[in-house]
């Protein structure tokens, strides 16, 4: 399952578990999931996503996120992030022209 997610902020949640005594270090991404309702109209979902360890350095932005099925410690079936691909906005014509203007000129 793939979704477009706009991560607004990534909060670090770290400490020591009072129950187990083990250290933990989680990244909670506050985000907007871009979904459409049954009529094709935007119906964004706003929530928090736990980022897996391999994505803990993720910065705010738009991502195509692939989810996979997982079983939690309490045996509940849920999903987890398996892949995140940044969605890069194409440069505008003005930005591209400005960048080209700053390139060194080729000599003939």
Q: Which domain holds residue 67?
A: 2-99
pLDDT at 7: 97
Domain-located, residue 53: yes
Domain-located, residue 77: yes
pLDDT at 108: 46
Residue 36: CATH number of its domain: 2.40.50.140
pLDDT at 95: 57
Domain-located, residue 106: no
pLDDT at 73: 86
If phi > 0 it is left, if psi is from -120 to 50 it is alpha, else beta; for residue 54 that is: alpha
Domain-located, residue 46: yes
Q: Specify whether the CB–CB gap between 19 and 33 falls below 8 A.
A: no
Helix or strand holding residue 84 (H, E): strand 77-86
pLDDT at 88: 87
**From CA 74, how far away is CA 94, in angstroms rounded?**
53
pLDDT at 49: 94
Domain-located, residue 23: yes
**From CA 55, how far away is CA 57, in angstroms rounded?**
6
Domain-located, residue 68: yes
Q: Work out how many domains the chain is built from and give that number.
A: 1
Question: What does each of the 108 residues of the chain score in pLDDT, given as a tens digit?
Answer: 889 999 999 999 999 999 899 999 999 999 999 888 899 898 999 999 999 999 999 999 999 999 999 998 899 999 999 999 999 877 665 555 555 555 555 444
DSSP single-letter state for residue 80: E
């Amino acid at each position: 399952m793939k979704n477009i997610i706009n991560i607004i902020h990534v909060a670090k949640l770290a400490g020591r578990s009072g129950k187990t005594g083990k250290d933990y270090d989680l990244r909670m991404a506050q985000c907007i999931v871009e979904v459409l309702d049954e009529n094709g109209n935007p119906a964004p979902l706003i929530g928090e996503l736990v980022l897996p360890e391999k994505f803990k350095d993720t910065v705010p932005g738009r991502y195509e996120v692939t989810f996979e099925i997982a079983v939690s410690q309490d045996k509940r079936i849920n999903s987890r992030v398996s892949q995140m691909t940044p969605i890069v906005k194409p440069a505008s014509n003005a930005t591209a022209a400005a960048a080209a203007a700053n390139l060194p000129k080729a000599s003939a």
